[in-house]
Amino acid sequence: MTYDGACECGDVQFQLASDPIVTNCCHCRDCQTITGSAFALNAMIETDRVKVTSGTVVERSLERGDRGDTRAWRCERCDTLLWADHPMFGDKTRFVRVGTLDGGEALPPDAHYFTRSKHSWVTVPEGVAQFETLPDDGVGVDLGEDRMARLMAVFG
């Protein structure tokens, strides 16, 4: 399945060429701050499966000290955060903000990360994996054969 996405002003249009490898809800303080919300809902996908179809995307580096810097891509005009990378995964994947996708409601989180800083009023649904920090493998859940093969193709 493909997903179309856009920034707030509509200048940047993009497409995900497939379903994501994993979708996560991150409750870390960095994600809370950068979104201005209680968490970020991210769809991790291979970098080459994110295609900008119109508009100009600008890259910004977010300094995170000993945790490693993160790069974020935003609309040049309205500054909507569209996707970012993560020091653990480098430039091989992108973490697309699910709220920028048409039909993003079809991508519920496979896992919740950094629940140690989760707001007390946020409820994780029963049966959805949750981790106090980031799991050692960066995913922490059974992805099934197809998604695991994609992850291994990127990092294998």
The Cα 137–Cα 1 span in angstroms is: 26
pLDDT reading at 55 higher than 80: yes
Checking if the pLDDT of 69 tops 90, the result is no
Greater model confidence, 6 or 85: 6
**Quick one: how far is CA 26 from the chain centroid?**
9
Residue 138 has what pLDDT?
A: 84
Backbone angles phi, psi at 123, to 5 degrees: -105, 130
d(C-alpha 62, C-alpha 84), whole Å: 10
How far out from the chain centre does Cα 99 lie?
10
Per-residue pLDDT of 100-127, as tens digits, reads 999 999 999 999 999 999 999 999 999 9
Q: What domains appear along the chain, each with residue ranges and CATH number? A: 3-155 (2.170.150.70)
pLDDT category at 12 given cuts 50, 70, 90 is: very high
Per-chain mean pLDDT for the chain: 93
Written as six digits, the tokens of 35 are 């979104």
In this prediction, residue 103 carries a pLDDT of: 95
pLDDT band at 89 (very low <50, low <70, confident <90, very high): confident
Give the containing element (helix H, strand E) for 22.
Answer: strand 22-26
Query: How much is the average pLDDT of 59-69?
Result: 77
Residue 42 tokens read as 């991210």
Give me the pLDDT at residue 67, please.
Answer: 65
Which pLDDT belongs to residue 65? 66
Q: Would the pLDDT of 66 be above 80?
A: no
For 32, 62, 147, 154, the CA distances from 3, given in Å and listed in that order, are 25, 27, 17, 21
| DSSP, residue by residue, 93-130 | EEEEEGGGBTTGGG---SEEE-GGG--TT--PPTTSEE
Residue 63: the pLDDT is 74
Interval 51-74 mean pLDDT: 87
